[in-house]
Amino acid sequence: MQPDLTEQILELVRLTATDLPPDIEKTLRESRDEEEEGSAARGALDTILENVKMARDNSTPICQDTGTPLFFVNYPEGWSTRKLKRQIQEAVIQATKKSYLRPNSVNTLTGKNTGDNSGDEYYPSVHFEEIEGDQVVIDLILKGGGCENVSTQYKLPDSSLAAGRDLDGVRKVSLDAVVKAQGKGCAPGTLGIAIGGDRGSSYIASKEVLKRKLNDSNPDPSLADLEDKITDQANQLDIGPMGFRGKTTVLGTKIKNLHRLPASYFVSISYMCWAYRRRKMVFKNGTASFE
């Protein structure tokens, strides 16, 4: 019989909301050390790092906006996604009662907050994929509203940016998104980019690619090269942490390539703020582990 994972998912939510992953904290620390002594950029990163430590020590949210919960669930054959979704919804409600999450779910027509992060079938956002094997893997990303507001989508070619339907066009629009954000959405950010797909699949893939670790490398050498190039060039824009100028505007870039129609070439950019909250839970042989 399929086990009830509500308790384990609640722990996944707690961990994601309160404990920034080590790879992100390490990159923030390295970026702080590169900023000038006494600069506003260094001060902003010091404050961020202090905040990260306090949140971990006290099991309190890393940022007041605990974001949209985005769940990516890989499950074995035979599992009920209906039950899993209900358990995820219940875990999110319990996490809100325990103040790991802020009540963030608002009816768009009435403006009424449900008060416990319950919502409709799209909130929290849950994506399922059946996989081989006997384990359940759940990735959770909490994506803040400010960084979602500066996320965007381009359609190539884009004559205003002289961006054609090639990787250099992708580079140009990605840097344009960073310039337009100007530190809003709480830089330093990380860029999740999807190339291709339709408008919907492209946006979802640009969020899902943020499951990757900051220090990993894209298996496609041309995309790995582009990821490094965009990060380096974004960091030469002198926008800096929170827009205070400096060397650290983005922490990294992650790109996913999707098939597309001949007629369309979308580039979707999900800007993730410094509060890059993502965690993974693996449930196997009756036990959950977290990373």
Q: Could you say whether residue 67 binds ligand SF4 (CB under 6 A)?
A: yes
Site for ligand SF4 in 3-62 (CB under 6 A): none
Q: Could you say whether residue 183 binds ligand SF4 (CB under 6 A)?
A: no
Q: What are 211's strand-pairing partners?
A: none
Q: Which stretch binds ligand SF4 (CB under 6 A): 139-147, 157-165, 167-175, 222-230?
A: 139-147
For 257-283, b/e burial (b = at least 16 CB within 10 A) is bbebeeeebbbbbbbbbbbbbbbbbeb
- Find the shortest distance in angstroms from Cβ 172 to ligand SF4: 24
Q: How many residues bind ligand SF4 (CB under 6 A)?
A: 12
| DSSP one-letter code for 181 | H
| Nearest residue (beta carbon) to ligand SF4 | 144
Q: Could you say whether residue 169 binds ligand SF4 (CB under 6 A)?
A: no
Q: Could you say whether residue 144 binds ligand SF4 (CB under 6 A)?
A: yes
Smaller CB distance to ligand SF4: residue 15 or 195?
15
Cis ω before 3 (30° cut-off from 0): no
Within 13 Å of residue 142, how many CA atoms lie on the same side as its CB? 29
Q: Could you say whether residue 146 binds ligand SF4 (CB under 6 A)?
A: yes
Q: Which of 107, 145, 225, 291 binds ligand SF4 (CB under 6 A)?
A: 145
Q: Could you say whether residue 185 binds ligand SF4 (CB under 6 A)?
A: yes
3-state helix vs strand vs coil in the chain, percent to 5:
40, 25, 40
- Find the shortest distance in angstroms from Cβ 77 to ligand SF4: 36
Structure tokens at 90: 């219940």
Alpha helices (H) in the chain, listed in sequence order: 6-18, 22-34, 40-58, 81-97, 145-149, 167-181, 199-208, 221-234
- Find the shortest distance in angstroms from Cβ 221 to ligand SF4: 32
Provide the pairing of β-strand 136-143 with 125-131: unpaired
Smaller CB distance to ligand SF4: residue 52 or 223?
52
- Measured CA to CA, the distance from residue 158 to residue 173 in angstroms comes to 8
| Site string (91-130) toward ligand SF4, x via CB under 6 A | ----------------------------------------
- Measured CA to CA, the distance from residue 217 to residue 224 in angstroms comes to 6
Which residues form the interface with ligand SF4 (CB under 6 A)? 63, 65, 67, 144-147, 185-186, 273-275
